[in-house]
Amino acid sequence: MTASRLIAEAVAQEGRYAQAIPMYGTERRGAPVTAYVRIDGRPVRRRDLVHEPDIVIVIDPILSGKPSVAAGLKSGGLLLLNLPKPPEEVEIGGDFLISTVDATTIALETLRRPITNTAILGAFSKVTGIAKLESLKEAILHRFPGEIGERNVEALRRAYKEVYPPKPAKGPLRPGEEEPPHVTGYGVLKSVADWRVFKPVVDLDRCISCRFCWIYCPETAISLVDEKPVIDYDKCKGCGICVHECPVKAIELMRETL
């Protein structure tokens, strides 16, 4: 949502018209969110969602590996993914280009948090040319003044330098990959594992059976077996509350492998 607004503000500074539309439900913080941006040289009058985009940007690294994120993408379009590997290694088929950037690592090293909105925009600027790097910088500093803004600008510039150039997707879109991923409906999904960037891992040898993690888990993802915590990773969205509450630091957040 932040990324879409920054794109709209940046292109507006360059004299064009833009419209940013976020879409999300009543889920807890951490659920996947979709947002849409329209850009034109004339005032944008449409108010509906974008169903056939020219460009799809996937900020979540877990969702980036799902072929269904390309559903609706126009022929010849661009799929920009937050992945730590080059586009030729991405197993997503279709008549479009794929570009990748390891925005999560960039965010962790610059912001010290896995917040990738601004990092992905540097890659977007480089591979599309739709918004200039300087315009995105000004939009970021307007929204995040001071040191926080400067760190976000650093993430923006790093991604601009480190993004992989677009390459053709591998083959056609395979059967069963047409449906978009679920982005709403917390509480009815069988698993919210793909909402996570990090997952909690328990060191049972250090655990003192205080039950704090079990008490404070907002998703009831932790049960007790022989007074020790067991995590149901289908329910865990990686919020990190259990890590924060553990008095002996027996739980550690580990980055999900892709």
Residue boundaries of the structural domains of the chain: 2-168, 193-255
CATH topology (fold) of 2-168: Pyruvate-ferredoxin Oxidoreductase; domain 3 (3.40.920)
What's the pLDDT at 128? 96
Determine the Cα–Cα distance for residues 215 and 194; give it in Å rounded to an integer.
24
What's the pLDDT at 85? 93
What's the pLDDT at 22? 85
* Low-confidence stretches of the chain (pLDDT beneath 50): 183-188
Nearest to 99 by CA among 51, 57, 69, 136: 57
What's the pLDDT at 187? 47
Q: Containing H/E element for 156?
A: helix 147-162
Determine the Cα–Cα distance for residues 84 and 69; give it in Å rounded to an integer.
17
What's the pLDDT at 34? 86
Q: Which CATH number is 193-255 given?
A: 3.30.70.20
What's the pLDDT at 1? 86
What's the pLDDT at 93? 87
What's the pLDDT at 46? 83
* Under 8 Å between Cβ of 246 and 213: yes
What's the pLDDT at 189? 60
What's the pLDDT at 170? 79
Q: Containing H/E element for 7?
A: helix 2-13
What's the pLDDT at 31? 64
pTM greater than 0.85 (yes/no) = no
